[in-house]
């Protein structure tokens, strides 16, 4: 069964750090670009970052550039998002998603259920 399961969310103070993980199963993880997308409470979707199958191509949204780092461990079929210098506006549900192909930059066919990150003092 193809699935993605996120973990690592929680409550953190402004300026703090958190590392999200996404465990993949049911497919050859290294064959796919992977993406993080977030959704603030009651708000729309916001793309955060993506990484190619081999980890050599990475893009970030301007809102997180310099603070967040995406990475992957293909041997463990896992995707990560290291979040530093967290701000209140980073509060959101964070989804990991599988990108259909490197060419289809906006086509995500498999999504996790999401993990909630709350940044508050």
Give least dist CB 117 to another protein, A.
16
DSSP state of 104: -
Task: Scan for tokens 């199963």, then name that residue.
Answer: 25
Q: For the window 37-76, what string marks contact with another protein as x by the rule CB under 8 A?
A: -------xxxx--x--------xxxx--------------
The Cα–Cα gap between 61 and 29 comes to 23
Q: Is 108 in the site for another protein (CB under 8 A)?
A: yes
Pairing of strands 68-73, 78-83: antiparallel
Choice between 62 and 121, CB closer to another protein: 62
Contact positions with another protein (CB under 8 A) in 2-41: 35
User: By C-alpha distance, which of 118, 117, 110 is closest to 28?
Assistant: 110
Give the binding site for another protein (CB under 8 A). 35, 44-47, 50, 59-62, 95, 100, 104-109, 111-114
């Amino acid at each position: 069964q193809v699935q993605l399961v996120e973990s690592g969310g929680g409550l953190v103070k402004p300026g703090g750090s958190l590392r999200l993980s996404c465990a993949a199963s049911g497919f050859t993880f290294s064959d796919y670009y992977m993406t993080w997308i977030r959704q603030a409470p009651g708000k729309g979707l916001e793309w955060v970052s993506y990484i190619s199958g081999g980890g050599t191509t990475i893009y970030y949204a301007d809102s997180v550039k310099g603070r967040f780092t995406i990475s992957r461990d293909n041997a463990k079929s896992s995707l990560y998002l290291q979040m530093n210098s967290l701000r209140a506006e980073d509060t959101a549900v964070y989804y990991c998603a599988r990108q259909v192909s490197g060419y289809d930059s906006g086509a995500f066919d498999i999504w996790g259920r999401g993990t909630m990150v709350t940044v508050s003092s």
